Structure 1
């Protein structure tokens, strides 16, 4: 799918005097050659931006500003899950008279989001909300955004902590990782080989969950379970499908696949559901009810987990608005109101948690529509 925007915006331009730029360049040419910033300059800029953020004071009584311009930058524009998140955030902006849009790449490569960040900075957005494909690849332009007083909120998948003010986490990373192993183990009777089908190798949220999965597997209760491989489908449907096929062929004794990505679990379910592995190999992970409903009902998948992606986008939108309005700065202990979700508290390292994930199965899957 082509990158596109959900809502059209006015673009504000800053006027710059050519003569003034020439004078600055002439004065600095002897020292820097007028060729841009050095690594030391970039470090100084980052340090100054961080110091400014730390010294900023929150005004919890400040009203949300009218006409705030927000931009959601997902991992990839054609990801069904992130489309739900972003559209909910865009709709939430209407509640506080803000304007929001979605832009992004069609692939989930580490550097694919950089050009979009640069464009959003030029457009002078009030806040950039990003689900990072890589925690470090986007840091340079995000720091430049913060330096220009553009607020940065990570959601779903975090950046490095010094590259944003807030991270809106769908649930505790530890709870997600450990619960996926616990649920799968119960289905297996705590015995057998398992594999993980992840998204991209650099996805912050995926890697955090996988680390907690591995740590959970070290417990005595899982001594008869073995993680044989972590495969990467790059949040691409066809590649995830092929990786599932490859795992099952490479490990004939494989008893379960855990896929903590909505694209991966749907692709894996499609392969397993149409093969002789149906009913023999357990598939668990994170998915949306609408994409997984048929696989639950036909017996391919017994259960899977997720949080409400609409609430995640809604919370991220209000958090960005509170940040851009000066109600919060991202410091631990600050509180803000998130519309119908009520008051929320900023935790350690600027993290705001939506809540625990929901387990979906035959009993409750028809109660949800997303």
Structure 2
């Protein structure tokens, strides 16, 4: 699992630097199947290949975005932004994917994209390992693999476009909630799917942050999973509040989860009693900020996430980069980016939205 980060972002370059912005899946263009039959290098050959940073971006590149699920509003923003970005370098991009976020739901789509001879597959993995086999088959045929939002196993992709430092996301979520509940009380986490790489990584950093002395009066009582499904997330929120009558706060680091939780709380007796935060989009959360259900939440810019992923895929497919640490590439309006350890490219730190600034953003 995007999520491909706003009316004010275009004019607020400082915010783009700050978020990188920072901010965050259905429609997408379609491309015709290619009849290309040129032999692709084996993964070992690709790994040994040298980058040519001066190589021009190839025209006519075929990119395919494969989100966790196509009806996820966050990932729709991410993917549509990537599809638009491809037009800047005269490429073609589309979005395909499952309607559910189960571990194995993306496999058949990867196989189809291999048959279509895509130049790059961009995936928000539902399960880091479940997609590994078919992704390796794609790499063996010379198809570049870019993971975004939710990483695939490191040996099954070339680059991971991370919306923000995983550690920074996890720790900042705990800090945000702690400040609002005065560092006291029982808390719960409402996550997406149990196998989502990004969610699990963030949660581990949340737990590590909670182990610090300043959080000694806070207790994590439950990690619940809404499976990035609105109705299930709504029901899980209800279940948490009924099972833990002393609950003081909920962190939901998923755009589907936080909006569903806010919707439940806003119409219940818990409004004003439970502190909810997490990761959401401004348009999705505006009503809940204005009615007092939520005080603060965070995200990055999903449009910029998709935009950066598209340019990274184009740079890979054009031979400008191989995915090695230290390589750099130009990502259009986002400027030059550097590949870090394990092929990770970080968009930027998360940004906090509240009643004082939420009307400045439109996405």
Secondary structure of residue in 2 paired with 1:180: helix
Map of 1:69-218 to 2, 5 A cutoff? 69-218=62-211
Q: How many equivalent pairs are there? A: 337
Per the alignment, residue 33 of structure 2 pairs with 11
Per the alignment, residue 235 of structure 1 pairs with 228
Preserved CA contact (<8 Å) 1:332 1:346: yes
Q: Rg larger in 1 or in 2?
A: 1
Runs of 4+ in 1 over 3 A off after TM superposition: 13-16
Higher relative contact order (CA 8 A, sep 6+): 2
- Cα deviation for residue 347 of structure 1 reads 0.4
Separation in structure 1 between the aligned mates of residue 277 and residue 34 of structure 2, nearest angstrom: 47
Preserved CA contact (<8 Å) 1:13 1:122: no
- Cα deviation for residue 4 of structure 1 reads 7.0
Separation in structure 2 between the aligned mates of residue 290 and residue 4 of structure 1, nearest angstrom: 17
- Cα deviation for residue 5 of structure 1 reads 6.2
Separation in structure 2 between the aligned mates of residue 195 and residue 320 of structure 1, nearest angstrom: 37
TM-score by length of 2: 0.91
Deviations 1:202-244 (A, max 9, x none): 0000000000000000000000000000000000000000000
Per the alignment, residue 248 of structure 1 pairs with 241
Deviations 1:260-308 (A, max 9, x none): 0000000000000000100110001000000000000000000000000
Per the alignment, residue 37 of structure 1 pairs with none
- Cα deviation for residue 13 of structure 1 reads 3.6
Per the alignment, residue 272 of structure 1 pairs with 265
Separation in structure 2 between the aligned mates of residue 93 and residue 13 of structure 1, nearest angstrom: 20
Which of 254, 257, 267 is residue 261 of structure 1 equivalent to? 254
Per the alignment, residue 18 of structure 2 pairs with none
Preserved CA contact (<8 Å) 1:60 1:328: yes
Preserved CA contact (<8 Å) 2:325 2:339: yes
- Cα deviation for residue 49 of structure 1 reads 4.5
- Specify every segment of 5 or more residues in structure 2 that has no aligned partner in the other structure, as ranges: 1-24
Separation in structure 2 between the aligned mates of residue 82 and residue 112 of structure 1, nearest angstrom: 16
Secondary structure of residue in 1 paired with 2:263: helix
Preserved CA contact (<8 Å) 2:128 2:196: yes
- Cα deviation for residue 10 of structure 1 reads 1.7
Which of 316, 321, 343 is residue 328 of structure 1 equivalent to? 321
